[in-house]
Structure 1
Amino acid sequence: MTEDERTMAPYGAWKSPITSNLIVSETIGLGGVAVDGDRVYWLEGRPAEGGRNVLVQRTGNGQTQDVTPTGFNVRTRVHEYGGGAFAIKNSTIYFSNFADGRLYAQTPETEPAAIVEEGKLRYADMQLDIGRDRIICVREDHREDGEAVNTLASIDRKTGKTDILVSGNDFYASPCLSPDGSQLAWLTWNHPCMPWDGTELWVAAVGNDGAIEDATKVAGGEKESIFQPQWSPEGVLYFVSDRTDWWNLYRWTDGAIEPLCPMDAEFATPQWVFGMSTYAFAGEGRIVCTYTRKGLWYLATLNTATGEFRQIETPYTQISGITAAGDRVLFLGGSADRATAIVQLDLASQTSEILRQSMQIDLDPGYLSTPKPIEFPTENGATAYAFFYPPTNKDYSAPEGEKPPLLVKSHGGPTASTSTSLRLSIQYWTSRGFAFLDVNYGGSTGYGREYRQRLQGNWGIVDVDDCANAALYAAELGWVDRERLAIAGGSAGGYTTLAALTFRDVFKAGASYYGVSDLEVLATDTHKFESRYLDGLIGPYPERQDLYKARSPIHFTDRLSCPTIFFQGLEDKVVPPNQAEMMVAALEKKGLPVAYVPFEGEQHGFRKGENIKRALDGEFYFYSRVFGYQPAEDLDPIEIANG
């Protein structure tokens, strides 16, 4: 279609085939890729099934089928965020069931059978110790009042008998056995560190009776973050460390630590969940790995003997979940025009095959916006990063001289980063005439430890400045309408959103998804994993109560002068609902347009299809009332107080 043949309509009023129904019905979550013999397994998070996580199997002849039956949800709540919820060996599957937290065993011939008693115990990050007929895992004990107790435990695969292997520290992760079963490595850390701040890597001998002996600290500390310890087929311990500012690969041999391929690039991501993997051994002497530079991910092989490092050309800019078996490499891959998929790559032939896609739709590329990586100036002479998506719809053009509204996204975490994979939740906006700016503000990962540390002591300042400056940068270049700037984010991104709307005069509207409005409440009413997170981001509490009050939007609603909509799960333990409700009440009292959309049965992040749809359409409807455009489709209205 030529420019002259396009329909003329204001930005925001374009009709798009990328609907919320399409997103909910055709999109699934993918993760947890594992290989067992000639079979590949993965987890699918299905919004259409209430967000249930289903373990799926693909046989050697290409047949795909569900493994876990209806009624089971393969998910764990250790650290609340979970991950590492299953393990497989010789076709027997061990998994955590979300409803009761128990571990189950399942074979091809049997239904799932619980192997531990029901109780207030959670399990994650399972490692199978076949020689001793047990499972080694992280156990989180909630049976007593006060803070949960985390340990490394062993569980007899038949009787469920549990023994504590390692205890005494606040957190544990990544237990891994050497190939001969004689050594166990693991990660541990203590409050107030988060795993991307400081962790320790330990190794111990495993006695014939399975007990841990002669534990030795290999690397790490309060100023060094270790990621993914893993034994090579030859029995050498490898890991990732940021000791030189960048998360790079190392190995421990003969009591010495050796760097493998020093680069100004990141070979790790923040350990928000268990079971993360950025590298794997593809046979003896060869590693296949993924790394990121300036927000884009690449795939490579590394010869562990010669140090030869070879990049593998792929069409993907977002790569994670690496696993391998010989020449077979599996990973999650995505890019701006490719939805996240489980990809199987043959290293010998350099051919690849897509085993499963997160969405089974065929969209005309004329409706897809391609992100442009940008670097922009921010406070104190620093540079920050973002991806800019221009409005794109092959059927429409805007009136001459009109500039599009902009939606700035502040990602969660805040120690995290945005993704460049195709996300229909972004294309929903750009295909309707919005510009979209996905910001990797200071504190984001993928740019080195120094950039990550920009947020230390400065949450609510650096992130807010970077999001505001990103929007102003786009407006100054003439890409967007300065008078129609909105910001949205979830969780920590919701806090950045509320802080930007309260403490900066840049945005004209915003949307908070389970965002924080009162930092003191977050510091005193959250779960163990994050209970001391704010010590680093803001300062110790209650010693620096003054900072918590000074950066909490709830105390400065008099400065908030633009419409805001709130979306909140009513069973959220990470950011309790009262955070949103206090803010809504304050805005209603002030007379500002405000909307509150609570969801029964949802926790931290929405998994049910109907709620994802309601939130996306609700935000778009809300902005239509604020910015004065008429949506091209009928949307269920949102009740807006003072609107």
Structure 2
Amino acid sequence: MVQQAGYGSWRSPISADLVVAGSLRLGQPVWEGGALYWIEGRPQEKGRNVLRRRLANGKVEELTPEPFNVRTRVHEYGGGAYWVSEGVVYFCNFADQRLYCLSPAGEIRPLTEAGPYRYADGVVDRRHRRILCVREDHSRQGEPENTLVAIDLESGAQQVLARGHDFYASPRLSPDGQALVWLTWDHPQMPWDGTELWRAEVAPDGSLGEPQKLAGGPAESIFQPQWSPQGELYLVSDRSGWWNLYRWDPQGPLPLCPMEAEFGEPQWVFGLSTYGFCEDGRILAIYRQEGLCHLALLDPRSGELQEIPLSYTELHNLQVSGEKAAFLAASPSEAPALVCLHLPSGQLEVVARSSHVAVDPEYLSIPEPIAFPTSGGAVAYGFFYPPKNRDFVAPAGEKPPLLVKSHGGPTGATAAVLDLGIQYWTSRGIAVLDVNYRGSSGYGRAYREALKGQWGVVDVEDCIAGAKFLAQQGRVDGERLLIRGGSAGGYTTLAALTFHNVFKAGASYYGISDLEALAKETHKFESHYLDSLIGPYPERQDLYRERSPIYHLEDLNCPVIFFQGLEDAIVPPNQAERMVAALQAKGIPVAYVPFAGEQHGFRQAANLKRALEAELYFYAQILGFPLVEPIEPVAIKNWSASP
């Protein structure tokens, strides 16, 4: 029987426990010898990354026992943490950052010594019995040194092959082993701003010849250089304003299928892949248009693009082997899964699911893509999730609160996929707007670069414009607007709360409050990221202070809850702690929930649950709607209704 209850107070079967139980992280599929490998991140095991494998006969095995955690800390964000050759797995272990060998018999031995090195994004050079990979050296003061190195498969002895650039990625050997390509970039570029593609001959003794720059520069982003089985070099470049596919030619890269679509994505982590080569010579590729992903077969000679119809709207990490392809896929009604596609028949098979939780569709809110006007006559994008719960309706005339989500990055994007973390809110009667503000990827280089020099301005304006757009349409309550975000999205959240009087409360997950401190304290990968987003530091110290919420607390007059990992090297805890202390001194309602053992992004099940429930408790107190489920209270300073 349908009951009447105010928005926010609907009883939901989507509990925090259910959200956490459905939050396995699947990643980095790899084909080798007919077997499919992948990573499974488990919140129930404190975020441990486990390597799994499905054999050709369908048997699934778990390859890395406790305490091994297959994760690298190169660039802090990692990715590309393992690779496979001739049945042997080489992987990075999170605790000590050493490389280990896993034999076909299941024996694990360390390959590298304990020390200051971290490794990622490797490939096995069988001809010289060595690994070629990215190494990050933390032995010196100041920024670590990134290089390309060769590591002997037996002794672990190491030799530097290339150095001198600030960053390296994607070392890839030609099929005959006689040429190596790789990517580099230098401060202040980020890899989506400008990278360079290099090539060098591999001599019989394993040394590299004189490197030759093939493409790229400070205003061209190269993504995923890859050799075809015939030894031709392919790449993705945004030289046209869109990340499109090219084949390398001595006269320069040749476009294969020019279109206003993104065949690449921001290289926040290593090992990303959006295309691969089929047995018939065609290329299977993922591309994104208007926020949604597509899968298609591309004939590299004719440029003909044949889309493969799928129910999925989000696709990642494509790997092709013969007539088979594997990729991560999700849709508004399906949680992320590892999917295998048999190309001749078009048959799909789900190999692994991030969640085995079954939720009645009558409790699920289906996202609606929206475009809305924003400042400067521009248009911004997002996905709107209206409240949905088959058991409840709101009193006549009541409009729902709106929770605006600002994604991290800020060079990133949100997607229209089943996210129980969003359904947690909508099934309780709280609408959600997930914003792809200017600066988001997936809409071309011009949209991505609209944030340059404007971080803390146009992203905030877009979040506000989206909320006001929905309020003006009568779809949400303009007096009960909330905003939340993590990392860079946490900064957008704090800037929106500080510099504008639109939202009633907000939640910052490891968010940035002091841009100047971030410029001084963050890790190497992002140490010059703010140069393009705000301006060079310290030359434009005025802008850093002008846009930092911590220096403008006189303008902040609404409640905030902060969530922070105490081992966060990207946004150190002192940023949240300074903000909390300042708000408390000012008399503004504030709550602080720190988590020991967590870094930048929470991975432990108990902490994920606590954060979600604490955020709901906080909003219920501030907006005044009753909770219909038991939740451990949160201490809210300067709030009389707090226990």
TM-score band, normalised by shorter chain? over 0.9
Matches within 5 A, 1:317-328: 317-328=313-324
Is 1:200 aligned to 2:196, yes or no? yes
Map of 1:116 onto structure 2: 112
Is 1:481 aligned to 2:473, yes or no? no
Is 1:546 aligned to 2:546, yes or no? no
1:105–1:113 Cα contact (<8 Å) kept: yes
Map of 1:182 onto structure 2: 178
How far did 1:284 drift? 4.9
2:22–2:420 Cα contact (<8 Å) kept: no
Matches within 5 A, 1:621-632: 621-632=617-628
Residue of structure 2 aligned with 1:89, choices 73, 85, 91: 85
Residue of structure 2 aligned with 1:305, choices 301, 304, 325: 301
1:419, 1:77 → 2: CA distance?
Answer: 26
State the AA in 1 paired with 2:213: K
Residue of structure 2 aligned with 1:262, choices 258, 261, 276: 258
How far did 1:108 drift? 2.6
Matches within 5 A, 1:67-466: 67-466=63-462
Deviations 1:278-335 (A, max 9, x none): 1111225211000001110000011122222100000000001000111101100001
Map of 1:18 onto structure 2: 14
How far did 1:25 drift? 2.4
1:508, 1:27 → 2: CA distance?
Answer: 29
1:26–1:360 Cα contact (<8 Å) kept: yes
Map of 2:34 onto structure 1: 38
Residue of structure 2 aligned with 1:639, choices 632, 635, 642: 635
2:108, 2:412 → 1: CA distance?
Answer: 35
Q: If the length of structure 1 is used for normalisation, what is the TM-score?
A: 0.99
Map of 2:45 onto structure 1: 49
How far did 1:64 drift? 1.3
1:257, 1:569 → 2: CA distance?
Answer: 44
Is 1:580 aligned to 2:580, yes or no? no
Query: Over aligned residue pairs, what C-alpha RMSD do you find?
Result: 0.8
How far did 1:110 drift? 3.7
SS of the residue corresponding to residue 455 of structure 1 reads coil
Deviations 1:236-273 (A, max 9, x none): 11000110110000010244320000000100110000
Deviations 1:44-84 (A, max 9, x none): 00000000000001111212121011110000000000000
2:593, 2:519 → 1: CA distance?
Answer: 24
State the AA in 2 paired with 1:632: V
1:222, 1:387 → 2: CA distance?
Answer: 32
1:205, 1:110 → 2: CA distance?
Answer: 35
Is 1:525 aligned to 2:495, yes or no? no
State the AA in 1 paired with 2:297: T
1:322–1:332 Cα contact (<8 Å) kept: yes
State the AA in 2 paired with 1:147: E
State the AA in 1 paired with 2:484: A
State the AA in 2 paired with 1:183: A
Residue of structure 1 aligned with 2:57, choices 46, 51, 61: 61
Deviations 1:77-108 (A, max 9, x none): 00000000000112110000000000000113
1:374, 1:576 → 2: CA distance?
Answer: 35
Show structure 1 runs of 5+ residues with no match.
none
1:8, 1:294 → 2: CA distance?
Answer: 37
Is 1:8 aligned to 2:4, yes or no? yes
SS of the residue corresponding to residue 580 of structure 1 reads helix
1:166, 1:503 → 2: CA distance?
Answer: 46
SS of the residue corresponding to residue 73 of structure 1 reads coil
SS of the residue corresponding to residue 636 of structure 1 reads coil
SS of the residue corresponding to residue 181 of structure 2 reads strand
SS of the residue corresponding to residue 593 of structure 2 reads strand
SS of the residue corresponding to residue 136 of structure 1 reads strand
How far did 1:111 drift? 2.5
Q: If the length of structure 2 is used for normalisation, what is the TM-score?
A: 0.99
2:406–2:485 Cα contact (<8 Å) kept: yes
SS of the residue corresponding to residue 213 of structure 1 reads coil
Deviations 1:172-229 (A, max 9, x none): 0001000000110100000000000000001111101111103111110000000000
How far did 1:128 drift? 1.0
1:462, 1:113 → 2: CA distance?
Answer: 51
2:309, 2:143 → 1: CA distance?
Answer: 47
2:618, 2:166 → 1: CA distance?
Answer: 43
Runs (4 or more) in structure 1 with deviation over 4 Å come to none
Say how many residue pairs are matched: 639
Deviations 1:540-571 (A, max 9, x none): 00000000000000000110111100000000
State the AA in 2 paired with 1:152: L
State the AA in 1 paired with 2:270: F
Show structure 2 runs of 5+ residues with no match.
none
2:430, 2:471 → 1: CA distance?
Answer: 13
Deviations 1:405-449 (A, max 9, x none): 000000000000002221100000000100000000000000000
Deviations 1:586-639 (A, max 9, x none): 110111110000000100000000000000000010000011111221111101
Deviations 1:128-158 (A, max 9, x none): 1111111000000001111100000010011
1:546, 1:397 → 2: CA distance?
Answer: 50
State the AA in 1 paired with 2:475: W
1:462, 1:617 → 2: CA distance?
Answer: 31
SS of the residue corresponding to residue 352 of structure 1 reads strand
SS of the residue corresponding to residue 461 of structure 2 reads helix
Is 1:562 aligned to 2:558, yes or no? yes
State the AA in 1 paired with 2:330: G
1:356, 1:21 → 2: CA distance?
Answer: 20
SS of the residue corresponding to residue 214 of structure 1 reads coil
2:293, 2:421 → 1: CA distance?
Answer: 21
